[in-house]
Amino acid sequence: MKNISGIRADFPLLSRSVYGKPLVYLDNGATTQKPQCVIDAVDEVYKSYNANIHRGVHALSDKASEEYENAREKVRSFINAEKREEIVFTSGTTGSINAVAFSFGERFINKGDEVIVSHLEHHANIVPWQMMCERKNAKLRVIPINDIGEVLLDEYLKLLSSKTKLIAVTQVSNAIGTILPVQEIIDAAHSRDIPVLIDGAQGIQHGITDVRKMDCDFYVFSGHKIYGPAGIGILYGREKWLAELPPYQGGGDMVANVTFEKTTYNELPFRFEAGTMNFPGAIGLGTALDYVSTIGMEDIEIREQELLSYANDRLTGISGLRIFGNSVNKISIISFLVKDIHMYDTGMVLDKLGIAVRTGTHCAQPVMDRFGIPGTVRASFCFYNTKEEIDILGTGIEKVISMFA
Amino acid sequence: MTINQVQDMIIDEFLVFDDWMDKYNLLIDMGKDLPVVDPKFKTKDFLIEGCQSKVWLHPEFRGEKIFFLADSDAIITRGIVGLLIRVLSDRTPEEILAADLYFIDKIGLRQNLSPTRSNGLLSMVRQIKLYAMAYKSTSKSKPS
């Protein structure tokens, strides 16, 4: 693995300062910064071959289409999907989940059926299912969690029944960092022929992803959380499922033949890509996946676990600091509150010290309700962060305590 | 004192400090000094809801003027609400509606005005002006 100063030099934004202080960016769970190669790749599209994809007969359109399809292949290879037909570009994780919720709901969900999610879900993996359940008169069931933020597998097994039509769970909790036992969840569901969707928004960037080994039916993630551009995401669906699902958006490019009487749809994956897609975003995402592959996903995981362990030691040393989410299976996220200081007060002061963290419910209100708190301060680290930055955070929190306590 | 005189005074108080921590310390002190609000006013009806911190704003119409009480569960926000009240409480609806709140920009709190900070100054100012507007129209419709 490249040394840390070399890695940081790849990300131009990391060297900036805020309020006259060096930036300490610890909000990677919300979005990650972009390496120069991704910025260049997107720039290059607009500078030298911008044209609409899959449509033109001219050279630029050919080049843009080719690069877009290359990006699809990069995604396929990165998550080890079997076929490129199984990779659908979307606007992001939210877009992907909404697509499945709509299409799967239309095709397979009937009155009285049930969909299971966990108590750790981001709102994006709750609300689309609620909307679908309301439309279909179906029911949403929830796997409960324990006091350290782990899902209760026994309770999950009890929820499985002949009414269960789909399981949709997150790979990793965005709010508190817990890594879910997705393998056990998938295996138990498959023993009953129930398909499983994995929300990989917080999982994909932290280690090796192999959808075939995991054996999930759908896997979704966002480009911007894995060092790619915003506004691009992936819906991986096993071909046997995608082939069964009706399209969720109609428009150009997703059709084979259109008359006013009847329209036939294009083949996979284009059937799910209506209208002009965010091709510069897709191309940027492909470059981002190349980049992290060069760094090495295994090395990224090791480095981030080191940072997590260092941060745990540093922050638990602060008297009055409570960490929410204490599973041993965790990604590099620390969600905390200090004494009775409001998360917003903590976040505001840290901000002025140059430290970017997230405050609030993290779009996971049920998790906060489970712990009986209004929200937390969340520091999320990734492989370009340093131990020095964690020390700055620690000192910052001590400063907060001295100001408010 | 006029609204602008109070604003100028606040600007002077903040101008002394270059460092953000000093400005926040001042806001924290102001938050602590804000009169305690009767819990009966800290209800949903008076809550300006947002995802960051809770703010309660209670108007009282007395004579020709509106008096505000406010509170927040976050101390810095309490300080910010306190500033707004210093400027806009004990004023006529006309004064409130005509007020140009330039002090916010001058003391460096403008980032709190962005519409995405849903519980920022913007929603507080909007709520105060809405109360002023409501009071203005009810007092006009009264027979004199």
A374 — contact with chain B (CB < 8 Å)? yes
Shortest Cα distance from A194 to chain B (angstroms)? Answer: 36
The amino acid occupying position A37 is C
Instruction: Report yes or no: A394 at the B interface, CB cutoff 8 Å.
Output: no
| B68, B89 contact by CB (below 8 A) | yes
Regarding whether A176 and A72 lie in a shared domain, the answer is yes
Nearest CA in chain B to A347: B52
Note whether A349 contacts B21, CB cutoff 8 Å: yes
What interface predicted TM-score (ipTM) does this complex get?
0.86
Task: Express each pLDDT in B82-114 by its tens digit.
Answer: 999 999 999 999 999 999 999 988 888 876 655
Q: How many domains does chain A have?
A: 2
Size of interface A-B (CB pairs under 8 A): 37
Residue B140: its pLDDT value, please?
64
pLDDT at residue B116 greater than cutoff 70: no
Q: What is the DSSP letter of B38?
A: P
Contacting residues of A for B52, CB less than 8 Å apart: 344, 359-360
Residues A101 and A76 in one domain: yes
Whether A349 sits inside 8 A of B24 (CB atoms) is: yes
**Residue that is last in its domain, among A229, A262, A294:** A294
> For position A293, what pLDDT does the model report?
98
Comparing B125 with B109, the larger pLDDT belongs to B125
Q: What is the mean pLDDT of each run of 10 residues along chain A (405 residues)?
A: 93 96 98 98 98 88 95 98 98 98 97 98 97 97 98 98 98 98 98 98 98 98 98 98 92 84 87 94 98 97 98 97 98 97 93 94 93 96 98 98 92
Do A26 and A91 reside in the same domain of the chain?
A: no
Question: What does the alpha-carbon distance between residue A56 and residue A58 come to, in Å, rounded to a whole number?
Answer: 5
Domain ranges of chain B: 3-139
What pLDDT is recorded for position B32? Answer: 85
**Distance from the A356 Cα atom to the nearest Cα atom in chain B, whole angstroms:** 15
- Our CA-based measurement puts residue A360 at a distance from the nearest CA of chain B, in whole angstroms, of 6
What sign for the dihedral angle of Cα A403, A405, B6, B7?
A: positive
The domain that holds A381 is classified in CATH as: 3.90.1150.10
CB-nearest to B74 from A344, A352, A361 is A344
Tell whether domain B3-139 is in CATH 3.90.1010.10.
yes
CA separation for the pair B49, B73 (Å, rounded) = 12
| Domain co-membership, A324 together with A342 | yes
Domain boundary residue, one of A243, A264, A294: A294
Which among A294, A315, A332 is the end of a domain? A294
Q: Give long-range contacts, CB 8 A cutoff, 24+ apart: A150-156.
A: A150/A178, A150/A327, A150/A329, A151/A118, A151/A119, A151/A120, A151/A178, A151/A180, A151/A181, A151/A185, A153/A181, A153/A184, A153/A185, A153/A188, A156/A116, A156/A118, A156/A185, A156/A188
Same domain, A98 and A153: yes
The helix/strand/coil state of A20 is: coil
CATH number at residue A77: 3.40.640.10
Share of chain B above pLDDT 70, in %: 87
What is the rounded average pLDDT for all residues in chain B?
85
- Domain identity same for A305 and A167: no
Sign of CA dihedral A131, B50, B45, B103: negative
Band (B118; pLDDT cuts 50, 70, 90): very low
Whether the pLDDT of residue B49 is over 80: the answer is no
pTM summary value: 0.93
pLDDT given for residue A194 in this prediction: 98
Q: Is A202 on the interface with B (CB under 8 A)?
A: no
Which residue range is the domain that position A115 belongs to? 39-294
Q: Based on the fold, state whether residues A97 and A53 are members of the same structural domain.
A: yes
**Same-domain pairing of A365 and A272:** no
pLDDT confidence bin for B141, thresholds 50/70/90: low
